[in-house]
Amino acid sequence: MTHLNTDLNLRIHLRQCIQKVATGPEYSKDLNYDDAYWAMRHIASGEADPIQIAVYFIGLRMKRETDDEYRGTLQALIDTANIQTAAVEEVLDISDPYDGYARGVPASSFLPAIMASLGVPSVIHGLEQVGPKYGATHYKILQAAGVDVNLSAKAATAQLNNIGWTYIDQSQFAPRLHDLIPIRQRMIKRQVLTTVETLLAPIRGQVKTHCLGGYVHKNYPPIYTSLAKQAGFASGMFVRGVEGGVIPSLQQAGKLFYYEGQAAEQQRDLNPAELGIEAAVRAVPLPENLPPAPLLGDEIATTVDSNALARVAAEQGLAALKGERGLMYDSLVYVGAIALTHLQRYTSLVEAADAVRASLDSGKALASFQAAR
What CATH number does residue 20 fall under?
1.20.970.10
* Structural domain that includes position 50: 7-79
183, with CB counted inside 10 A (0-12, 13-18, 19+), is middle
CA gap 333, 356 in Å, rounded: 6
**pLDDT tens readout for residues 247-260:** 999 999 999 999 99
**pLDDT tens readout for residues 167-201:** 999 999 999 999 999 999 888 888 999 999 999 99
Residues 61 and 106 occupy one common structural domain? no
Give me the percent of the chain exceeding a pLDDT of 70: 96
Residue 3 has pLDDT above 60, yes or no: no
Residues 254 and 323 occupy one common structural domain? yes
The mean predicted confidence, pLDDT, of the chain is 94
Residue 103 has pLDDT above 60, yes or no: yes
Residues 70 and 137 occupy one common structural domain? no
- Give the helix/strand (H/E) hosting 203: strand 203-204
CA gap 173, 81 in Å, rounded: 6
Residues 243 and 133 occupy one common structural domain? yes
3-state SS class at 285: coil
Residues 36 and 177 occupy one common structural domain? no
DSSP states of 107-143 as a string? -GGGHHHHHHHTT--EEEEE-S--TTT--B-HHHHHH
Whether 2 maps to a domain, the answer reads no
pLDDT category at 371 given cuts 50, 70, 90 is very high
Residues 66 and 130 occupy one common structural domain? no
- pLDDT of 298 reads 52
Contact between 77 and 196 under an 8 Å Cβ cutoff? The reply is yes
Residue 1 has pLDDT above 50, yes or no: no
- pLDDT of 300 reads 54
**If you ran DSSP here, which 8-state letter would residue 241 be given?**
B
Residues 293 and 359 occupy one common structural domain? yes
- pLDDT of 297 reads 47
| Nearest Cα to Cα of residue 270 among 241, 297, 291, 244 | 241
Bridge partners (DSSP) listed for residue 84: 203
Mean pLDDT of 209-214: 98
Helix axes 220-231, 67-79, angle to 10 degrees: 40
3-state SS class at 254: strand
Residues 159 and 271 occupy one common structural domain? yes
Whether 40 maps to a domain, the answer reads yes
- Greater model confidence, 190 or 126: 126
Residues 18 and 107 occupy one common structural domain? no
CA gap 39, 152 in Å, rounded: 28
Domain closes at, from 79, 103, 132: 79
**If you ran DSSP here, which 8-state letter would residue 292 be given?**
B
CA gap 243, 97 in Å, rounded: 8
Contact between 110 and 322 under an 8 Å Cβ cutoff? The reply is no
CA gap 311, 289 in Å, rounded: 13
Contact between 255 and 269 under an 8 Å Cβ cutoff? The reply is yes
3-state SS class at 344: coil
| Nearest Cα to Cα of residue 255 among 286, 224, 295 | 224
- pLDDT of 81 reads 98
Mean pLDDT of 64-90: 98
**pLDDT tens readout for residues 85-101:** 999 999 999 999 999 99
**pLDDT tens readout for residues 286-302:** 999 898 887 544 555 56
CA gap 160, 368 in Å, rounded: 11
3-state SS class at 21: helix
